[in-house]
């Protein structure tokens, strides 16, 4: 039986296509959406209103128009702080500040435009006009914010330790390796970092343990979905979505060193009773982070444009000395 070269080539093309589609399906988007409805003082919807979504960190602006039903949607919105400006002929412009979009959590805002001149601007806070609960889908989720990650004490500086404090999570034994989400097995949870799967696919029995170890400087926030995760989230009943810190229009950075020494530790009761010394533990965690804008040139036909993007990167190293052993764990993000 002879197999032609064209048949083998087609077979390879099909295999590459399947692998590419599978890889794309396994990568979930770390973004969210901003939606809402524009109405006048009588409660009637306003079609054709112009809505601007402005990123506070990068000053990037996205514009859309309300539909015939007065609704609008901004898709693929990255987690961060935004401003919303709505305007229409015959109505005063309205600006909504402090719009905080969390990773994987839709943000719904209802905009009421008052009759007046377009030159007039009414400024309100997002807490006054935002929907108090998620009315876009039926997901039950909780988001751990940047301030919580940076301010709460973490033994080992792993942000996922804070997931054990969320509703529905039981951290048995005090470590993530023993945690369960709503009583499910570890194989029913899915961990993503910026939309990339970081599950430990070799063991795959731990709900909150990933192949890539997250660190405090490398995680801006994370959302834990405990029930009713959408089909776009990929495998797993429970979803843990981490995102890295974002850059901004200004350069910024940090340098740190955290030290733990057994000289400040007390021995346990049973060690003292049996005449045993206290365990040796010397831990050093150090690293740096930097973020800011960078300029790249984009060529289009005969003209050249300058595009400004933002980025944030960090690296952290952990060294531990326990008795005669030395362990080292490096995380690069």
CB 62 within 8 A of CB 74: yes
CA distance 96 to 164: 34
Burial status of residue 274 (CB atoms within 10 A of its CB: 0-12, 13-18, 19 or more): exposed
What pLDDT does residue 305 have?
38
> 300 — phi, psi (to 5°)?
-135, 110
Q: What is the pLDDT of residue 298?
A: 46
Flag residues of the chain having pLDDT under 70. Answer: 1-29, 118, 172-175, 203-205, 294-316, 321-333
Please name each of the domains of the chain with its CATH number.
32-129 (2.60.40.1120), 140-243 (2.170.130.10), 252-332 (no CATH)
Tokens coding 271: 């060690």
Please write the tens of the pLDDT for every residue from 110-120. Answer: 999 998 876 77
The closest alpha carbon to 314, from 258, 252, 221, 259, belongs to 252
241-300 confidence digits (pLDDT tens):
999 888 777 787 888 888 888 888 899 999 999 999 988 888 888 888 887 776 655 444
Residue range 229-241, pLDDT digits in tens: 777 777 778 889 9
Radius of gyration of the chain measured on its C-alpha atoms = 25
């Amino acid at each position: 039986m002879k197999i032609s070269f064209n048949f083998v080539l087609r077979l390879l093309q099909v295999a590459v296509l399947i692998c590419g589609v599978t890889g794309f399906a396994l990568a979930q988007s770390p973004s969210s959406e901003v939606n809402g409805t524009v109405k006048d003082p009588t409660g009637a919807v306003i079609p054709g209103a112009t809505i601007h979504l402005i990123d506070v960190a990068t000053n990037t602006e996205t514009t859309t128009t309300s539909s015939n039903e007065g609704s609008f949607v901004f898709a693929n919105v990255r987690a961060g702080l935004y401003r919303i400006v709505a305007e229409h002929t015959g109505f005063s412009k309205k600006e909504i500040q402090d719009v905080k979009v969390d990773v994987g959590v839709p943000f719904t805002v209802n905009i009421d435009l008052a009759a007046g001149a377009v030159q007039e601007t009414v400024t309100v806070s997002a807490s006054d006009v935002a929907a108090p609960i998620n009315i876009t889908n039926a997901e039950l989720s909780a988001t751990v914010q940047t301030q919580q990650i940076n301010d709460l004490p973490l033994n080992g500086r792993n942000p996922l330790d804070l997931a054990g404090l969320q509703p529905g999570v039981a951290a048995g034994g005090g470590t993530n390796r023993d945690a369960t989400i709503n009583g499910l097995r570890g194989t029913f949870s899915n961990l993503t970092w910026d939309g990339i799967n970081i599950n430990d696919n070799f063991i795959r029995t731990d709900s909150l343990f990933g192949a890539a170890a997250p660190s405090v400087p490398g995680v801006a926030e994370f959302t834990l979905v405990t029930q009713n995760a959408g089909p776009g989230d990929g495998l797993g009943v429970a979803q843990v979505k981490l995102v890295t810190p974002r850059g901004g229009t200004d350069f910024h950075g940090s340098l740190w060193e955290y030290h733990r020494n057994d000289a400040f530790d007390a021995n346990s009761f049973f060690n003292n009773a049996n005449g045993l010394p206290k365990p040796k533990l010397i831990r050093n965690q150090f690293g740096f982070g930097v973020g800011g804008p960078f300029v790249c040139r984009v060529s289009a036909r005969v003209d050249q444009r300058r595009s400004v993007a933002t980025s944030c990167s960090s690296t952290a190293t952990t060294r531990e000395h326990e008795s005669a052993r030395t362990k080292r764990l490096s995380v690069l993000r």
